[in-house]
Chains A and B, each alone.
Chain A
Amino acid sequence: MSKDLKVLICDDSALVRKQMNKIFSSQGISNIFEAVDGEQAVIKYAEVMPDVVFMDIVMPKKTGVDALKDIMSLNPAAKVVMASSVGTQANLKDAIENGAYDFIQKPLSEDSVVKILEKINE
């Protein structure tokens, strides 16, 4: 696992941000950035240019799918992982069609997050 990965967590829940921070820290990753809504996610992405983004879907100001679209137009090679409890068929389809790298169904498990990080490192 590359400890130099830059990770951006976009989730309006302080609990989820804390849980994800803990998972990344346990993998030795320290370049962790956070956004609390969809608008901030896009601004932060442009500022930090992270290697991977973990993006919630239901968020204030801008949904995760809209933020995904904006990020993909900024950088078509961006790796954006949607992490949501609302893993409905429509959301999965929407995410894939708009270029999402992967989809994690909440509740988050450390295993599922680590598997994605390993895939990115390959």
Chain B
Amino acid sequence: MFTQFFGNYLLNKGLVSAENLAQALADQKNTRLKLGVLAINAGFMTAEQVDKVHAEQQRVDKRIGDIMVDMGFVTRDQIEELFKTQPSGHLLLGQALVDSGVMSNAQFEQALASYKAENGISDADFINIDDNNTNKLVAHFYKFKDDSNVKYLTGYLTLLLKNLVRFIGDDFTPMDADYVQDRVLSECIGQKISGAVDAMTVIEADSETAVKFASRFAKEEITEYDDYAQACLSEFLNLHNGLFAVNVSNEEGNELSLDPQAYYDTLNLSELKNAYVVPVCFSFGTVNFVISI
């Protein structure tokens, strides 16, 4: 989940454009991590040292790891450790941005350090990603106007992001939750939740994005925004809401029930109470989720 929030951070700080970020998210699957980015991430080398190594590599015919050791920046053991690093998402995203020239090594190093500092994330947290620090990260990221339902809103959105990674893909950036009272959504699918918490949930996207989202969820090629594509979006919402109800039932012993999903030609958010629009920018387009409690 760090990847997704790191992408948002880069965008909000103006370090990358939305287009560059979408391209890097699409490219990261084919990106190979290089030792320079790994060494910066591990804190073994500074960006300046990595640039010096790259300059030296132009001059001598040696492997980059050997040059790093020869120049005294890292030890052989550290190189071995870097080779064992798992290709975690934020690194692939950073590497894709460095490879395409959008960011320099120095900018990546600075952004990573600032991101960790601003979010109170230690290096250990960064390596050992688990459910607890994912929840912490989500709670820190989303800001809500009214505190009374923060627990449910945070729980809902944490699970949403996990389900997006699980069922759609990790090439997205979550955007800030927007408290909206006067927006009209068109061609969207909604589902009511009732019980311990009464909520309205919605998924909305333009038809081209909806078709791509549906294709990924159904794991098949869908080419038109027809009833079947709508059924796929609708089932994603139902599946996510169902899993949310299971979490609430298991963790709190509170029961939630779901209404069947409904298709809306238009849906005026002013009719809903405390509606938050939560855009999620995938490499193929933006999908809006609405949660109103």
Contacts and interface: CB of A to CB of B under 8 A. Distances in A.
Interface residues of A, number: 18
Contact of A85 (B227, B234, B238, B260): B238
Nearest to A11: B235
Nearest to B260: A60
Contact of A89 (B167, B218, B241, B253): B253
B231 A15 contact: yes
State which size class the interface on B falls in: 20 to 34
A90 B258 CA distance: 13
A88 interface: yes
B249 A88 contact: yes
A116 interface: no
Chain B CB within 10 Å, residue with most, of A59, A106, A107 = A107
Given A15-B218, A15-B228, A58-B258, A86 B234 contact: no
Interface in A62-109: 84-90, 105-107
B231 A88 contact: no
A13 interface: yes
Chain B CB within 10 Å, residue with most, of A58, A60, A89 = A58
Contacts of B235: 13, 15-16
B64 interface: no
Contacts of B217: 15
A62 to B, nearest CB: 10
A62 B292 CA distance: 26
Given A15-B232, A58-B238, A86 B245 contact: yes
Interface string A1-29: 00000000000111110000000000000
Given A15-B218, A88-B256, A107-B167, A58 B242 contact: yes
Given A12-B260, A13-B234, A59-B260, A87 B242 contact: yes
B259 interface: yes
Given A15-B228, A58-B242, 16 more contacts: A14-B228, A14-B231, A15-B217, A15-B218, A15-B232, A15-B235, A58-B238, A60-B260, A85-B240, A86-B242, A86-B257, A88-B245, A89-B250, A105-B246, A106-B239, A106-B242
15 contacts: A13-B235, A15-B228, A15-B231, A58-B258, A85-B241, A85-B243, A86-B246, A86-B258, A88-B245, A88-B255, A88-B256, A89-B255, A90-B255, A105-B246, A107-B167
